[in-house]
Amino acid sequence: MIVILKNGATDEQIDHVIRRVEAIGLQSHLSRGTFRTIIGLIGDESLVNKESLSTLPGVAQVIPVLPPYKLASREAHPESSVIDVSGVKIGGGNLGMIAGPCSVEDRDRMMRIAESVCQSGANVFRGGAYKPRTSPYAFQGLGEEGLKILREVGDRFGMPVVTEVTDPRNVELVSQYADMLQVGARNMQNFVLLTEVGKSRRPVLLKRGMSATIADLLMSAEYILSEGNSNVVLCERGVKGFDPATRNLFDVAAVPVVQGLTHLPIIVDPSHATGRPDLIPPCALAGLAAGADGVHIEVHDCPEEAKSDGPQALLPEQYKQISHQMRLMADLLGKTISPLAKDAGGPTPPQPPTEALA
């Protein structure tokens, strides 16, 4: 950590800062320049309270040298992490291709959509059973009934399933059915929820909040990691912009920025980022070209009947086309679309307790 003193800071003020630093067990290194004096702090930065140091008389700025997201940072873990979602690897050159409808709907429809995206090469099936909706009158999801359908569909096609958990009280229930827990944009800073998914052993898909900075996203990941769950995949899904031409502003540069700062994989979600089916294919490819570790796309066989996010859904046929292009892009980049465990000869997805399916 570096303490920059104000122009004209007195010797007394400088001595006071040094005494405070040494009192907490750190060493200090004073450097007097022509215009500025700085004090370098040597030792365990976590002992320092940056805010209280900033309030000392004569202090202009306190700059941490290490990022506050200790476990998520690349310094802590230089190698890119590879997250295993019931046999499907995401990160380190392995691409996670997540596809499925916004909401879990009736069983037959889910089977049809899953069959089609699976044939197109998706390796994780998605669908929300608990939907965070702006309006309390909008469809809220099928709840546990939806989880049962999702599990059945996943087992039928040997695909791991990811679904959103919106309430800390439901983490255990959702974990009984899902291979991966999604924390949605609206809940990215629900710290109680982050702590609960951190206690779970299920991999987590953590979506960037619509007004969250990259540092905010990484601090939220830190909540999960600090509880002992290191299986976190980040997701760039667009941030609030000023232009209603797209639903959100797709921050494609966030992908390489995040990868420079953390070892955790990051995937892109062009569906929520753009809200427009015509923009999803180019943005999916742009995300991969920028280095994303996977792509998350909403697919529905009859968007006009979809219970949520119908206007942004790709038709199964459209998903097939973009999947083909994503595969070509993956080849070009020397990356692998992770095979399903059943195709790779690995273990099959964990089964929920039998009473959960009863």
Residues forming contacts to ligand PEP in the complex (CB under 6 A) are 102, 128, 184-186, 207, 237, 272
Q: Quick one: 102 or 224, whose CB is closer to ligand PEP?
A: 102
Name the minimum Å distance from CB 271 to Mn ion.
7
Determine the Cα–Cα distance for residues 55 and 108; give it in Å rounded to an integer.
Answer: 62
Name the minimum Å distance from CB 230 to ligand PEP.
22
Q: Quick one: 244 or 334, whose CB is closer to ligand PEP?
A: 244
Site membership for Mn ion, residue 102 (CB under 5 A) = yes
Site membership for Mn ion, residue 59 (CB under 5 A) = no
Site membership for Mn ion, residue 273 (CB under 5 A) = no
Contact letters for Mn ion, residues 288-327 (x by CB under 5 A): ---------------------x------------------
Please answer whether residues 165 and 184 qualify as being in contact, where contact means their C-beta atoms are separated by less than 8 angstroms.
no
Site membership for Mn ion, residue 21 (CB under 5 A) = no
H or E element: which one contains 180? strand 180-183
Site membership for Mn ion, residue 341 (CB under 5 A) = no
Cα 191 to Cα 194, 195, 201: the distances in Å are 5, 6, 17
Determine the Cα–Cα distance for residues 207 and 217; give it in Å rounded to an integer.
Answer: 8
Please answer whether residues 126 and 296 qualify as being in contact, where contact means their C-beta atoms are separated by less than 8 angstroms.
yes
DSSP label at residue 313: P
Please answer whether residues 169 and 198 qualify as being in contact, where contact means their C-beta atoms are separated by less than 8 angstroms.
no
Name the minimum Å distance from CB 213 to ligand PEP.
16
Using CB atoms, what's the residue nearest to ligand PEP? 184
Name the minimum Å distance from CB 3 to ligand PEP.
39
Q: What angle do CA 20, 23, 29 make, to 5 degrees?
A: 65
Site membership for Mn ion, residue 162 (CB under 5 A) = no
Q: Select from ligand PEP, Mn ion, none the partner in contact with residue 184, using the beta carbon and a kind-dependent cut-off of 5 to 8 Å.
A: ligand PEP
Q: Select from ligand PEP, Mn ion, none the partner in contact with residue 300, using the beta carbon and a kind-dependent cut-off of 5 to 8 Å.
A: none
**Residue corresponding to tokens 């930065």:** 45
Determine the Cα–Cα distance for residues 265 and 293; give it in Å rounded to an integer.
Answer: 6
Q: Quick one: 109 or 272, whose CB is closer to ligand PEP?
A: 272
Site membership for Mn ion, residue 164 (CB under 5 A) = no
Name the minimum Å distance from CB 36 to ligand PEP.
44
Determine the Cα–Cα distance for residues 72 and 161; give it in Å rounded to an integer.
Answer: 24
Determine the Cα–Cα distance for residues 128 and 101; give it in Å rounded to an integer.
Answer: 8
Q: Select from Mn ion, ligand PEP, none the partner in contact with residue 185, using the beta carbon and a kind-dependent cut-off of 5 to 8 Å.
A: ligand PEP
Closest of 339, 342, 329, 350 to residue 90, by C-alpha: 339
Which region among 51-59, 95-103, 156-164, 215-223 touches Mn ion (by CB under 5 A)?
95-103
Classify 294 as helix, strand or coil: strand
Determine the Cα–Cα distance for residues 234 and 264; give it in Å rounded to an integer.
Answer: 7
Q: What angle do CA 24, 223, 161 make, to 5 degrees?
A: 165
Classify 181 as helix, strand or coil: strand
Site membership for Mn ion, residue 251 (CB under 5 A) = no
Q: Select from ligand PEP, Mn ion, none the partner in contact with residue 95, using the beta carbon and a kind-dependent cut-off of 5 to 8 Å.
A: none
Q: Quick one: 126 or 263, whose CB is closer to Mn ion?
A: 126
**Residue corresponding to tokens 């420079």:** 260
Name the minimum Å distance from CB 156 to Mn ion.
23
Q: Select from ligand PEP, Mn ion, none the partner in contact with residue 202, using the beta carbon and a kind-dependent cut-off of 5 to 8 Å.
A: none
Q: Quick one: 293 or 309, whose CB is closer to Mn ion?
A: 309
Q: Quick one: 128 or 277, whose CB is closer to ligand PEP?
A: 128
DSSP label at residue 182: E
Which residues here bind Mn ion, judged by CB under 5 A? 102, 309
